[in-house]
Amino acid sequence: MKNVDDLIDSAAELAERGLSKGEIADELNVSRETASWLVERGGGSEGAETAGTTASADIHVDWSALGRDSTRLGYAASAMADLLAKQGEAVDLTVGIEKAGAPLATAVADRLDTDLGTYAPAKHQWDEGDIDEHGGGFSRNFAAIRNRDCYVVDDIITSGTTMRESIDAIREQGGEPVACVVLVDKMGYDDIDGVPVYSLVDVVRVDREE
């Protein structure tokens, strides 16, 4: 996707397929507010004019060149694993945040020789109104937290809400997040709730006043 029109078309297509706005935000790597704006714009000129929503500043990150090729994805995961390798002495679990964080976490776990867990955040159920903070959950098809130290892996940090929710969920299960790693951090976090955050790319916004 090269421009906003492409994003609007993609948001409209995803909405027609029945995805919630939270899932659309996840698929397009944008904030929830941006996802709402894109969906409303995709409803046509009348919907855009009556929606009353304005677009806030956001950055769309398209990492599909990595995601569509297992070799490239593996190289990225190796770099992410290297950022985590010296964090913690007894970490034996890597938790991927669904959806896009799960394949990255799988490759990272392989390189670090840890078990694999996945967490589905509450935003996947969000469409209108406030998100239920307790709506997320861990998949039973993967490793359980069981009071273990763990790494947390996702693709993008947009606002930090999803990562913070995941950290809280892990702690509620008795686990201890040792470090987080992502491909791109739009906010430039050093840590979230006391957990170090590492990223391959940090995005720095430069606002110039004319």
Q: What is the pLDDT of residues 144-175, one digit of tens each?
A: 999 999 999 999 998 899 999 999 999 999 99
Q: Which two tokens stand for residue 132?
A: 């239920």
List the beta bridge partners of residue 91: none
Q: Domain 64-202, what fold?
A: Rossmann fold (3.40.50)
Handedness of CA 143, 146, 148, 150 (dihedral sign): positive
Is domain 4-51 classified as CATH 2.60.40? no
Q: Mean per-residue pLDDT for 101-126?
A: 90
Q: What is the rounded distance in angstroms from the CA atom of residue 122 to the CA atom of residue 150?
A: 20
Q: pLDDT value at position 61? A: 85
In the chain, ranges of CATH 1.10.10 domains? 4-51
pTM for this model (two decimals): 0.77
Q: Mean per-residue pLDDT for 21-30?
A: 77
In the chain, ranges of CATH 3.40.50.2020 domains? 64-202
Q: pLDDT value at position 125? A: 56
Q: What is the rounded distance in angstroms from the CA atom of residue 116 to the CA atom of residue 169?
A: 16
Q: Mean per-residue pLDDT for 173-187?
A: 96
Q: What is the rounded distance in angstroms from the CA atom of residue 79 to the CA atom of residue 112?
A: 11
Instruction: Answer whether residue 89 shows pLDDT above 60.
Output: yes
Q: pLDDT value at position 24? A: 81
Instruction: Answer whether residue 50 shows pLDDT above 60.
Output: no
